[in-house]
Every structure is written in C-alpha cells, then in structure tokens.
Amino acid sequence: MDKLIIANWKMNPKTSKEAGELFLAIKEGIKSIKELEIVICPPFLWLKEFAKEAHSIKIGGQNCHWEAGGAFTGEISAQMLSAAGADYVILGHSERRHFLGETDDIINSKIKAALKAKLRPILCVGENKGEEMHIVLETQLMGALKDLSINQIKNLVIAYEPVWAVFSDEASSPDSALSANLFIKKILTKLYSRFLADRTPVVYGGSVNAKNAVDYILKSQMQGLLVGGASLESAEFSKIIQNVSKA
Ligand code: PEP
C-alpha cells in the first residue's frame, strides 16, 4: 500500500479565504507526487467544497458521531461526512480524549459508525507523559476495537501519537516510535492475525516536520505520518511529502 500522509488542520485556519488558499497551495506543491496517498482533514465547514476540488487528494473528517442522526447538537454523522465527499475520518484524537472526555467505548461506537458509512477510520492511540506506553496502547486498542471482526477492520489506519509530542516541539525519537509500531502490530496479531497486522497501516503523529519526517518512515518503519501544525504551512507540508516520496 502507498504511504499515507494525513493533514489534521484542527480548528484552523481562521477564515475561508485562508483555508482555500492553503488548500490550493498544497495541491500545487504536491502535484507531481503520485506514489503517496495524501489526506487532508479540514474543519467540517470546508470539507464538501474541498472534496469537489480534491482530484488525487483524499478528504477526511476530524471526528464523527456514533449515531446516524438525531438530537445531538453540534455533531456530525459519519454518513454526512461520507455524503460530503470524505473518505477518511480521524477518531480518538488525544485532544478529544483529553479535553472532551472521549472514552474507548465512545471511540469504539464511532469506529462502527464510520465503517458503516464506508469511511476509513484513522484511530489515534498514544500515551501521555508518565504513562506506560505498552499498557496505554493495549488498553486503547482493545477498547476501540471491541467486537469488531477482522473483516470489518481491514480498512483501519492506526495513528501512533504520543500525547506529549502532539502540538509540542518534542517529537518522539524514531526508536521509541519503532517500538510503539511493533507493539501495535503485536496487539493486532494477538487480537486478529499476523496477516491483518501486517496490512494495517500504522502512521506516526506528533511534531512531524520536513527534517524529521523521513526518520519515521525509514527508522520507525511507519507506513505514513499524521501531521498537525506543519500541515498549516503549505511549503513545509509539501516538503514533508516530497521528502517521504523520495525516501
Ligand atoms: C495532530 O494534531 O494529530 C498532530 C500530530 O499535531 P502536531 O503535528 O502539531 O504535533
């Protein structure tokens, strides 16, 4: 499978004009890249418009609700994302787990909803400072994948994002990211099979930039990257993509 580079714009940029310009600049910067799958996850507001203009770029949501519809003020369903042109959805991001109280049970329901809507879930897992990486990863994976069959999760993407490295200047060392990657594969093998573990992309996220991006691909054996802050600077993001495409 192609390497995956996913941009999480979070609640940025501030205006539609800036968002449109950023999207166009990224498109321009990566137009010669064929061998990578690029996914941009903008705020919901711009998703439909971008999906129409995306060409080879894929579009993703940053969250979805577990129900298909109903009295859930401020929420958006997986079906709505899919109908708007999204192919992916980020679920279980640490900012939602920690600031909005998302539990593994909630994330499990959201993954089920996303799969039903034919979206590809990007499940974020990772330990906080002072937590034991293995315990956190095993707990989060078992909780998020509860009652999901091997057949259902064949399109899953897992993003290893140590919480302390997200939106900070402190990226994980490629060695620790490698051990997290191998441990995630071990848990997937235990829960499902070696075959499924080998074909499930694990990507790294947490203070990725154009300088460190390739290390996570080569040294940590990651299948791709989830990029927050650096995806808001078109030149830096395009450089990350170009560097990974040459790696
Ligand atoms: C993220 O938001 O998932 C992320 C990895 O952010 P940053 O690249 O800014 O650390």
| 210 and 226 Cβ atoms separated by less than 8 Å | no
Query: Which pLDDT score is estimated for 157?
Result: 98
pLDDT tens per residue across span 28-62: 988 888 889 999 999 999 999 999 998 889 999 99
Residues assigned a catalytic role: 93, 161
Torsion sign across C-alpha atoms 199, 227, 120, 87: negative
| pLDDT above 90 (res 2) | no
Query: What is the Å distance from ligand 1's center to 186 Cα?
Result: 25
pLDDT band at 239 (very low <50, low <70, confident <90, very high): very high
Q: Apex CA 127: angle with CA 126 and CA 130, to 5°?
A: 165
Q: What is the dihedral of CA 58, 94, 201, 47, to 10 degrees?
A: -10
Burial of residue 146, with CB atoms counted within 10 A of its CB: 0-12 exposed, 13-18 middle, 19 or more buried: middle
> What residue's CA is closest to ligand 1, atom 3?
228
Counting from 1 in the atom list of ligand 1, the atom nearest the Cα of 124 is 3
Residues with CB under 6 A from ligand 1: 8, 10, 161, 166-167, 205-208, 226-230
The Cα–Cα gap between 156 and 91 comes to 11
Indicate which residue's Cα is closest to atom 6 of ligand 1.
228
pLDDT digits (tens, 9 = 90+) for 83-110: 999 999 999 999 999 999 999 999 999 9
Confidence (pLDDT) at 31: 86
